[in-house]
Structure 1
Amino acid sequence: MLNYKDIFKSIKEILPGFIVSLIIGIVSILISKFVPKLGAATISIFLGMFVGNIFLDQKIFQKGYKFSETDLLSYSIVLLGGTLSVSTLMELGFNGILFVVLQMSVTIVGALYIGKKLGFSQNFRFLMASGNAVCGSSAIAATAPVIDADDKDKGIAITIVNVTGIFLMFLLPILTQKLYNHETVQTSAMIGGTLQSVGQVVASGAMVNEGVKDLSTIFKIVRVIMLVGVVFLFGHLKHKTNHDILEEEIQDTKKGKIKVPWYVIGFFITCALFSTNIISPQLSEICKSLSNKFEIIALAAIGLRVNIKDLIKQGKSVSLYGLFVGTLQVITAITLIGILL
């Protein structure tokens, strides 16, 4: 039975932060009409960072910011599926999928090796590897219970993975302009195959253009689909001598306790509906417009949640870890793009 009291309480907690994110999103859309080259997405995240760090970082706004960032971005991705046909997804081809698999493999091996050389614990190395290789905070949250990581390791890993992603989010559009003159497939592979979170991929892609944003998201979704395999791998590496724990992991996977995020499934459903003309071109236009609006509000929330003090505060060795892994990802992506794409 629905508990209306709890529902209203949740809405009340979400509302302040959501309203701030919504206002910043609307203001960004208005400003972008005067500076179209900058784009509403870019304006939204920078304006959010400015507002959040100057005067709107109070606790009362945080739940609304988180809702706007995670939930609205998820809805945006599902709606995006309603604008893309299966033929668009096939643009990745065998080489595109091979690029993602190799990029993730090098990131995992590199993150584990670099972490060991820097003297970090095994659990922390696993969290850093999954967060950088797959999908940031979500991958870390899925990996932590399987390897029995403590909250401290989890918190630091989430922070440093997000910090790395934020720097790369702004750097990659500049780098891909120099390297590829923003050619769609190569630029999308770099952004979608490298950045840590879905939000960062959408934000960075949107800084380039709409086509790159959409294809980058597809590259990223391929990585997210592989989350189950990565979590299982780390569980096996951690507990390879304990058959009881390994058996438990297998049962958890079968029961769906380790699962692909719902928005990935939703994306493929709406994509299939559009490909079979169940979603009409007119409805697809509505999906595109709503997806874009949700995305801009979500990017405002991402900006609002970026704490510049936290970026500065990270310890030297942890910061070096993030820097080395991020550098490895970029170099690997450049190499693989040169060979495969």
Structure 2
Amino acid sequence: MNKTKIAKIAFPIAALLCFFPFVSSAAALVLGVVLAVALGNPYVDKTRTYTHHLLSLSVIGLGAGMDLMVVGRVGLQGIGYTVVGISFTLLLGMLIGRMLKIERDTSTLITVGTAICGGSAIAAVAPTIRAKSHEVSVALGTVFMLNACALVIFPWIGHLLNLTQTQFGLWSALAIHDTSSVVGSTLQYGPESLQVGTTVKLARALWIVPVTFLIGLFYFRGQKVEGGAGKAKKPWFILGFLIAAALVTWIPELRPVGHVVETVAKRALVVTLFLIGANLTKETLKSVGIKPFLQGVGLWIVVASCTLGAILIGWIH
């Protein structure tokens, strides 16, 4: 039996196993990466599509276990440091990109992905700047690799520094690229961490709209439309998350059902992390050059370190 046949059997079985409680979020991600690199992903087009849809449905499901009043309070508290953090990251990222002489579009996409919410921000901004397909691939590949690292490294650092669940949730939301990896890391750390991290990250994701508009307003417009990345995706799942939270908050009778939906959503997120790992193919790894990767890593380390420092001294709480 060749690798392709083995992979066609192994991937569905592994995805099913990830739905069970004995598989952690980190283990699911690593399993996806190992299978993709060792055997190749024969379903890569499907897993990329399923990843987006399953993540959206899972985040909506998490809303069914949250109090809308808490969600609103946490979201409003974060406006100040969100504006400062996004502005700082955008400026620093473009500066690093110029220093390393990286293609402007690629540098912009990596920077925006770091500043707001990873792949979602990249998908929204790419059509605005008319980025070419290979530039989008490089940016997404860089972000995917750093997301995988964050899922393993962040909980370890959190426990090493004895961060509270609130502190860890804040740090994850502000320093990890994608919503899925924020949820994955905070899910390991504790329920309060999950609630804070998810809420702050989704509130931050709303900034895709004004940031994309401003980039489109001031960005160089001389590029050709051919080879662009296509239509921007709108993060409608944020609205679904808020509606689900509103229903269980204002209709107490729905709370028992809401907890069941939340439990299923948490396991669906673990499956999502497996799919994210499965999307990290050899081709994706090869597409990321050393300079874009260095920009992504350097920017991420500075942002994560500064954010952690601000949380520890009480500037962000």
With the shorter chain as reference, the TM-score category is 0.7 to 0.9
Aligned-partner Cα distance in 2 for 1:207–1:305? 22
Structure 1 ranges of 4+ moved more than 3 A = 15-22, 257-260, 307-314
What residue in structure 2 maps to residue 172 of structure 1? Answer: 154
Q: Does 1:58 pair with 2:41?
A: yes
Cα distance in 1 for partners of 2:168, 2:253 equals 29
Quick one: which of 12, 16, 29 aligns to 1:19?
12
| Larger CA deviation: 42-51 vs 109-118 | 42-51
Q: 1:96 to 1:178 in 2, by over 3 A?
A: farther
- Going from structure 1 to structure 2, the CA distance change for 1:314 and 1:147 (only over 3 Å counts) comes to closer
| Equivalent of residue 270 in structure 1, options 244, 250, 258 | 244
For residues 82-121 of structure 1, the aligned pairs below 5 Å read 82-92=64-74, 94-121=76-103
> Which residue, 194, 211, 215 being the options, matches 1:234?
215
* Unaligned residue ranges in structure 1 (runs of 5+): 1-14, 33-38, 242-256
Counterpart of 2:144 in structure 1 is: 162
AA at the equivalent of 1:58: N
Give the count of matched residue pairs.
302
User: Could you say which residue in structure 1 is the equivalent of 2:167?
Assistant: 186
Give the CA deviation at 1:303. 2.3
- Find the partner of 2:133 among 146, 151, 158: 151
Cα pair distance change 1:86/1:183, threshold 3 Å: same
Q: CA deviation at 1:155?
A: 1.4
| Residue pair 1:21, 1:298 contacting (<8 A) in 2 also | no
The secondary structure found in structure 1 opposite 2:102 is coil
State the shift of 1:206 in Å.
Answer: 1.9
For residues 305 and 124 of structure 1, do their structure 2 counterparts lie closer, same or farther at Cα, with a shift above 3 Å needed?
closer
The alignment partner of 2:26 has SS state of helix
| Residue matched to 1:304 | 278
Deviates more, 1:186-195 or 1:120-129: 120-129
Q: Which amino acid aligns with 2:41?
A: Q
Which residue number in structure 1 is paired with residue 316 of structure 2? 340
Cα separation, 2, equivalents of 1:302 and 1:65: 8
Cα shift at 1:134: 1.5
Q: Tell me, what secondary structure is at the counterpart of 2:177?
A: coil
Q: Counterparts of 1:52 and 1:258 in 2: how far apart (Å)?
A: 27
1:264-319 CA distance string (max 9 Å, x none): 11001111111111661221122112212211221221222233675477433222
Pairwise CA RMSD:
2.8
Q: Say whether the 8 Å CA contact 1:16–1:64 is kept in structure 2.
A: no
The one-letter code matched in structure 2 to 1:182 is L
Q: CA deviation at 1:52?
A: 2.8
Letter in 1 for 2:82: V
For 1:135, which of 91, 98, 117 is the aligned residue?
117
Q: Which residue pairs with 1:223 in the alignment?
A: 204
Encode CA deviations 1:155-210: one digit per residue, 9 max, x unaligned: 1111112222222232211222223x131221011111111111111222222223
Separation (CA, whole Å) in 2 of partners of 1:317 and 1:121: 10
Q: Distance in 1 between matches of 2:132 and 2:49?
A: 25
CA distance in 2, matches of 1:239, 1:309: 30
Distance 1:261 1:93 in 2: 16
AA of the residue aligned to 1:217: T
Give the aligned residue type for 1:52.
Answer: A
Q: Which has the higher helix share?
A: 1
1:199 and 1:174 map into 2 onto residues whose CA distance is 18
Deviation of 1:94 (Å) = 4.6
**What letter matches 1:24 in structure 2?**
L
1:225 offset after TM fit, Å?
Answer: 0.7
Question: Are the aligned partners of 1:224 and 1:260 in contact in 2 as well (CA < 8 Å)?
Answer: no
Bigger shift: residues 313-322 or 104-113: 313-322
Q: Is the 8 A contact 2:120 2:233 kept in 1?
A: no
Task: Determine helix, strand or coil for the equivalent of 1:119.
Answer: coil
Q: Which has the larger radius of gyration?
A: 1
Distance 1:192 1:152 in 2: 28
Question: Following the alignment from structure 1 to structure 2, what is the Cα–Cα distance between the partners of residues 18 and 267?
Answer: 29
1:203-223 Cα deviation digits (max 9, x unpaired): 222222233223211111011
